[in-house]
Structure 1
């Protein structure tokens, strides 16, 4: 991709998202009552179920006037009490994945069914397990170059953790200026996968802004991370033992990798280790991720997230760290290990948590408002696999009750 001062149009959405949004111009054609850069959405292509269950808004917030860097958001108001219910910012990871992934496939207000002729819109139905049942949710495409977010200067597509966090913080300050009615609502930040980096780094920026007195002052209460990237050593060294424990690789392949790498899988130390890990990858691969862009050049420049989690929770901000227990991308075993490594005392010992009289997973609660939970049978995108259980833990945690 060319760098420098050239300009770029808003990037096209990946094909699955085109089914719902069609294009930015077509999308905004069904909006009215514009309050730039936001707009009330009065209809959604493919949904013929009558009135939307709550108000929806969509638009852009400019985070850099000089470069024309603009981030796209879609707000789904709570279907319960939007004036009082929590407001949650949702971020998908990648880096490079649109947060419409969460909107379309996970916990957005619609489920959809394919059908009809090629290129036709899917039929949308209301999602009974939408997270908007109990909260307002802002789906944000971040950084610029992802989804419908863009910059007129494509040099902005070379970015990293710290710039992304700073831009998202700027977005939040400007967004709450546009929607001041939500300033008193409890505010949380949530996300999954590489948003395991986005969420704590953005939370850190928000807390710094509150302490500096940035206006408006956000009513930030805590954050959630699902199957999130955290620390190279913890995450990387969990992969091979997890694959072995899930019977994805044989005992002999595991022993070969363990001997060749001496238990250090994240940073291959020899040709034999490389060869053994290649065999593990060949046998146990989960395939490519689709709803992402290759238009950005992203640098993981924030390091381990452990220090961020320690800093935030020690200041009293609540944190829910949850993991689908069938995810090999970021295995729950590594996440369980790093949450324990923070050194907090246990206040709710390892136990089952229940939904509809069935075991939904396991949880352990720590001092300083830190909770770790697994979701039984869920993969990398937990609400996509287990929607009822996801709404249950989400609702309970937002309410401040035990899972």
Structure 2
């Protein structure tokens, strides 16, 4: 009885004054009442609870009591959870065609993942979206600190939402979240083993085009360029020989290798990194460092260009859509509707590239290996037209896990058409569901943004324990 008292007491202290939550029934730009339940709020984390992480929570439109709970982490680092909500898997999309320079409006997303799951879209790390710190020191973050903060976030969120404590929990995201998602998942798994309160019903995680090993992800681009016909067979064979498979940090005295890499850079410099078939934004600068990832995919179209009415359709590039989020989220009526704390964020950005942030984890392959051995599920998917984090690198690190192939490479279908290709792996030492890898045919770096119907079907099948 005494132990039970202290557990309850600690839980009370842990949860009190840490979470502020608000129900949002209407949003500027959407006509009438929202057709889904939206909650926004803050959760305090950090040693002194100085970091206020902002979130959007949307209940499943199907069955919130039984459907899984997904924590969505957008990449970057520094890209708001709202980017995932409004451009990838949430229930609202901007009506770009109707935009006339005033406050952007929304249309319903027929392929929202909130049709099949409860979803938390989180602004993390600190400095992302509407998340902020109450003290100067708290603005600093890193891969390690971010994972710790998100682990604290989900524990405190569950304490304030005990009705979702038994729902299957999945940590999800894409791009740079490939670093954070497996780290958070492993923190939860270790916490559950240590019986930390509250226990979280973690079942697994999903990742799209994930940054996993910074070196190997970039190094795999040369093979990808060859596979999709961006470089010739002769150049590919030459660079393999001259660089001996090392394209990111070759021997500085190897002139032939550097010449081959320069030729490859010239062949790919005008190709859209995020989706090789789409136009490259005219404002985007050429890649200055050969094959290195400069993260220019996250450079949104300048507002003055986006607002220009002349030839807007002719000069379209996908980044044009993202500017609408800046206009909308920086509007005071919008921030009031979302219950954003006044004066905490002066200039909202979809992706904040000025974070005080250290990328202190170079590879998360060990996290995947540990989580597989512990019996957790994983869905790893790759838009096959992304050359930023190409599927070739993802296939490579999955092979290093030394898992058993339980279902060999084959096509998967949506509406009678091939939606991509998939294979399933299992950990020989466990009876867990294992790891499913899938390509999304025609998908770009953020696959659900390019192929929403196929990605919804993929997620629904996998969450329902149905192999693609």
Partner SS for 1:346: strand
Map 1:4-403; keep pairs closer than 5 Å: 37-48=20-31, 50-64=32-46, 66=48, 68-114=50-96, 115-118=98-101, 120-270=102-252, 272=255, 273-274=257-258, 276-285=260-269, 286=273, 288=296, 289-290=298-299, 291-368=350-427, 369-403=434-468
The CA distance in 2 between the partners of 1:259 and 1:379, in whole Å, is 30
Give the gaps of 5 or more residues in structure 2: 1-17, 274-283, 285-295, 300-349, 428-433
Secondary structure of the equivalent of 1:167? helix
RMSD of equivalent CA atoms: 1.8
- Distance change in 2, residues 1:354/1:175 (3 Å): same
Larger Rg: 2
CA deviations on 1:309-332 (whole Å, 9 max, x unpaired) are 010011110001110111101110
Cα distance, 1:198 vs structure 2: 0.7
TM (norm. structure 2) is 0.75
User: CA separation in 2, counterparts of 1:168 and 1:180?
Assistant: 18
2:132 match: secondary structure: coil
Indicate conservation of the 8 Å contact 1:61/1:72, yes or no: yes
Describe the SS at the equivalent of 2:146: helix
CA deviations on 1:5-48 (whole Å, 9 max, x unpaired) are xxxxxxxxxxxxxxxxxxxxxxxxxxxxxx95111011111111
Contact 1:92 1:101 in 2 (8 A): yes
| Distance of aligned partners of 1:277 and 1:297 in 2 relative to their CA distance in 1, 3 Å threshold | farther
CA distance in 2, matches of 1:370, 1:393: 14
- Give, in angstroms, the shift of residue 68 of structure 1: 2.0
Distance 1:67 1:315 in 2: 31
Equivalents in 2 of 1:191, 1:197: separation in Å?
Answer: 10
Tell me, in whole angstroms, the C-alpha distance in 2 between the residues paired with 1:82 and 1:298: 35
CA contact 2:40–2:54 (8 Å) conserved in 1: yes
Q: Which moved more, 1:287-296 or 1:387-396?
A: 287-296
Q: Which runs of 5+ in 1 are unaligned?
A: 1-34
Question: Any conservation in 1 of the 2:19–2:156 contact (CA below 8 Å)?
Answer: no
How far 1:343 sits from its partner (Å)? Answer: 1.0
